[in-house]
Structure 1
Amino acid sequence: MYPSSPPRPATSHSPRLWAGALATAALVAALIPGASGARAAGPAGAADNPYERGPAPTVASIEADLGPYAVSQTPVSPVSVSGFGGGTIYYPTSTADGTFGAVAIVPGFTGTQSSLSWLGPRLASQGFVVFTIDTITVLDQPASRGHQLLAALDYLTERSAVSGRIDSARLGVMGHSMGGGGTLEAARSRTSLKAAIPLTAWNLDKTWPEVRTPTLVVGADGDTVAPVATHSEPFYTSLPGSLDKAYLELKGATHNAPNTANTTIAKYSVSWLKRFIDSDTRYEQFLCPLPQPGPAIVEYRGNCPHPS
């Protein structure tokens, strides 16, 4: 009997070789990110969230007078618009990062846009288009100011010179005093808004269960015009329990605290707007766990963590 022939070496056409190669490739792909030939996803969130703008934040970056973006501004004449009193648009100069979310800001009773102008470049330099507006008259009440905020957002996204820089699905509102009351009115009227920040707000309506917009209510312990016990606190409490919401009470501050540059207001406003307009979870660290009382804060309440 002749000896049996040795097994023939497997060739590239061997089914056994193909099966083994495929299994090995699958194992490598599972163990080594990017080994399958697909582009690696990069840092967590960078590929998942297309709305992230700017570098990873730090306490220093959100407390800074200006953020990473250079800012330009353009005036809007009251005679060129309807439904509000004109204003000033602040926006990131570069378009390299694509579109940005936008925020309209309205002043309080007898106030003008100049009283909140510090917020324009401060927020815009963090990666937002910001519109500080004047009202039709300085005596307009909260409901009117709410309508004017929405009219300003419509102008900003549809007819302004910077409309192409804005993602019209990512909008927010802010306001001081009666403008803060108007901020709540706007959020109740337009539930598609992504963020609302009423600052030492005043409104005769104390209950806001209809609001569906993530809302940061800012009060001041020394406010005698809109005391927190009869304004900011009931506003916050009346918001739905299921809503992303927070209450920040400033320490040693008065009703007009938002009318001058305020690091605490800026820090938490930037974090709130980034977290909910940009869905940027990198800013969750500044909101949750809840900030503790300290030299600038009497109290901070909220219902975090905020789901992604």
Structure 2
Amino acid sequence: MQHPHTGTTSPVHRPHPALPDPRTGRRGRRTGRLAALAAAVSAVFTLTALGGPAAHGADNPFERGPAPTESSIEALRGPYAVSETTVSRLAVSGFGGGTIYYPTSTADGTFGAVAVSPGYTGTQSSISWLGPRLASQGFVVFTIDTLTTLDQPDSRGNQLLAALDYLTGSSSVRGRIDSTRLGVMGHSMGGGGSLEAAKSRPSLQAAIPLTPWNLDKTWPEIKTPTLIFGADGDTIAPVATHAEPFYTTLPSSLDRAYLELNGATHFTPNTSNTTIAKYSVSWLKRFIDNDTRYEQFLCPLPRPSLTIEEYRGNCPHTS
């Protein structure tokens, strides 16, 4: 402003923009906007540093689906719509064909895959409920038939691996699968076969034997994170001579768990079961997808309940 007497310019004294104007009691609008922007940026950085939503995608590219809840992992169906395709035994070698269940949408990219074997004298129909239930949570699932219904565990283990090789190498859904993220499951002799498969192929990310049967009682060679289900009323593969020694002989350094179903029999895994599904989903998500959002359902160790007789395992998990 020009001085009225001298014609020189002197500063106009206004309140500092960061401070309230004594004439109005209000801050400058521009400063207020800048302060709000700074606070928003700070909140984003804080959320990311604390592992909030902005951190998940960067930390784990294999994470699939929304954040899990108790109800979401117990549900009959997860967030993904599921399609299926039948594989004839005449079109494959090394196993007896089966059914592939997979997420219909390709929007999320590739998924991990799991092959599932039935037990002695059983066909894929005995474990078919696992197909859509697991696939709807974000996996490609192959429930297989074996070459004969009388195949022993070592043969079933080889057939599970042959099924995974077919899935990733020549199946119609091979483009939907990440071949580095694979697992095996099986019931009874198929459960024993899943241990054989994990022993033969240490690169597998997860194994889940369901009321398993095997003449081999010790498994110190296994390097795959393994969750074993036993049943307190199992008279065909009693836990004392099958599931329990299988678990206790796994390496103590391994991510491993033993869940004994309460009020269950050897054939409990042959029908839809919420406890089996809940902990199988959590285990597969945690170790095939490396999705630590599911750690909350495995650690701390679940307590005995109406459906769980006993649960043993290591916490926290190391891989």
TM value normalised by structure 1: 0.87
2:30 matched residue in structure 1: none
Task: Give the deviation of 1:34 after TM superposition.
Answer: 5.4
- Three-state SS of the structure 1 residue aligned to 2:57 is coil
User: 1:1-308 maps to which residues of 2 (within 5 A)?
Assistant: 33=44, 42-307=53-318
Deviations 1:129-180 (A, max 9, x none): 0000000000000000000000000000000000000000000000000000
Task: Give the deviation of 1:45 after TM superposition.
Answer: 2.3
What RMSD, in angstroms, separates the aligned Cα atoms of the two structures? 1.8
1:8 matched residue in structure 2: none
Task: Give the deviation of 1:304 after TM superposition.
Answer: 1.1
Partner Cα separation in structure 2 for residue 42 and residue 60 of structure 1: 20
Task: Give the deviation of 1:262 after TM superposition.
Answer: 0.3
Pick closer, same or farther for the CA change 1:55–1:32 going to 2, 3 Å.
Answer: closer
Task: Give the deviation of 1:71 after TM superposition.
Answer: 0.1
Partner Cα separation in structure 1 for residue 208 and residue 270 of structure 2: 14
Partner Cα separation in structure 2 for residue 145 and residue 114 of structure 1: 16
Query: Which has more radius of gyration?
Result: 2
Task: Give the deviation of 1:43 after TM superposition.
Answer: 3.5
Q: Is the 8 A contact 1:41 1:47 kept in 2?
A: no
Partner Cα separation in structure 2 for residue 44 and residue 307 of structure 1: 20
Task: Give the deviation of 1:32 after TM superposition.
Answer: 6.2
Q: Give the percent of matched residue pairs that are identical in Structure 1 and Structure 2.
A: 78
Q: Which amino acid aligns with 1:82?
A: S
Partner Cα separation in structure 1 for residue 45 and residue 117 of structure 2: 48
Partner Cα separation in structure 2 for residue 68 and residue 276 of structure 1: 19
- Three-state SS of the structure 1 residue aligned to 2:125 is helix
Q: How many residues align?
A: 278
TM value normalised by structure 2: 0.84
Q: Is the 8 A contact 1:271 1:286 kept in 2?
A: yes
Unpaired runs of 5+ in structure 1?
1-26
- Three-state SS of the structure 1 residue aligned to 2:279 is helix
Q: Which amino acid aligns with 1:115?
A: S
Q: Which amino acid aligns with 1:238?
A: T
2:29 matched residue in structure 1: none
Partner Cα separation in structure 2 for residue 78 and residue 293 of structure 1: 42
Partner Cα separation in structure 1 for residue 146 and residue 318 of structure 2: 36
Deviating 4+ runs (over 4 angstroms):
30-35
Partner Cα separation in structure 2 for residue 128 and residue 191 of structure 1: 20
Q: Is the 8 A contact 1:89 1:132 kept in 2?
A: yes
Partner Cα separation in structure 2 for residue 274 and residue 171 of structure 1: 11
